[in-house]
Chain A
Amino acid sequence: EVQLVESGGGLVQPGGSLRLSCAASGFTFSSSWMSWVRQAPGKGLEWVANINQDGGGKFYVDSVKGRFTISRDNAKNSLYLQMSSLRVEDTAVYYCARAPLFYFDCWGQGSLVTVSS
């Protein structure tokens, strides 16, 4: 069974940093593009970042460029999102998702990030 489990969310002050992790199982992680998608409270879905199979290609929505970094460790079947210079508007549930061909076929349960003073 394909499974994605996020961790690392929590409360952080504006300007602070946080790293999200996503543990993958049940599929060949090293062969899959992966993504982060977020959803602010009561709002819609927003694509945040993509990473290709070997981690050499990383792509971001404009609003997080220069502040967020997506990465992966294929030996550990893990995906990461390093978030810095966090803003109140980054408050959201962050989902890890498998993205085989620019669609999301499997999602984690989500990790809540709250940016507040």
Chain B
Amino acid sequence: QSALTQPASVSGSPGQSITISCTGTSSDVGSYTLVSWYQQHPGKVPKLMIYEDRKRPSGVSDRFSGSKSGETASLTISGLQAEDEADYYCCSYAGSSTLVFGGGTKLTVL
């Protein structure tokens, strides 16, 4: 149950696109189509942004997209906006009904 690996921080200017990576292993990210992504603003409750690698819940902007290649999943935010500044966490199914989160990435909008 080792945490997934995310960059500690990423940044971008308004209107740009950024990508946050999430690297796991063949026991979690690489084995299942069950990576999810969460946005958390300071002092707020996490919000689901992507599930099952690339699906977007109703109400989430289509500027958010998910993808995966092998053991690395990615969250891309296009047309960056000031309100996107937050912490982002990936999470993967890890077998036997267990889950594992990434360490989180702080997104700064310059």
The distance in angstroms between the C-alpha atoms of A35 and B93, with both chains bound, is 13
* Contact yes or no, A57 B97, CB < 8 A: yes
A11 vs B97: C-alpha distance when bound (angstroms): 31
Contact status A62-B1, CB under 8 Å:
yes
Number of interface residues of B (CB under 8 A): 26
Given contacts A47-B101, A50-B97, A61-B1, contact A103 B46 (CB under 8 A): no
Q: A57-B97, A59-B97 are in contact. Are A105 and B102 (CB under 8 A)?
A: no
Q: How far is the CA of A63 from the CA of B85 in the complex (A)?
A: 31
Supposing A44-B104, A50-B98 touch, asked if A104 and B45 sit within 8 A by C-beta, the answer is: no
What sequence of 0s and 1s flags, for each residue 73-117 of chain A, a beta carbon within 8 Å of any chain B beta carbon?
Answer: 000000000000000000000010000011111011110000000
* Whole-angstrom distance between the Cβ of B64 and the nearest chain A Cβ: 14
Q: How many residues of A contact B (CB 8 A)?
A: 23
Q: Which residues of B contact A62 (CB under 8 A)?
A: 1
| Nearest A residue (CB) for B40 | A45
**Cβ proximity bits A23-47 to B, threshold 8 Å, 1 near / 0 not:** 0000000000001010000001111
Which of B57, B97, B98, B101 has the most A CB atoms < 10 Å from its CB? B97
Which residue of chain B lies nearest to A62 when distances are taken between CB atoms in the complex?
B1
Chain A residues positioned under 8 Å from B51 (CB to CB): 101, 103, 105
Interface pair B52/A44, CB less than 8 Å apart: no
Question: Whole-angstrom distance from the CB of B34 to the nearest CB of chain A?
Answer: 5
Q: Hey, which chain B residues are within 8 Å of A107, CB to CB?
A: 45-47
Q: Are A103 and B45 in contact (CB under 8 A)?
A: no
Contact A45 B97 (CB under 8 A): no
- A95→B45 CA distance, assembly (Å): 9
A104 & B98 in contact (Cβ 8 Å cutoff): no
Measured CA separation A109–B96 after assembly (Å): 28
A–B pairs, 10, beta carbons within 8 Å: A35-B99, A44-B103, A45-B101, A47-B101, A61-B1, A101-B51, A102-B34, A104-B48, A105-B57, A107-B46
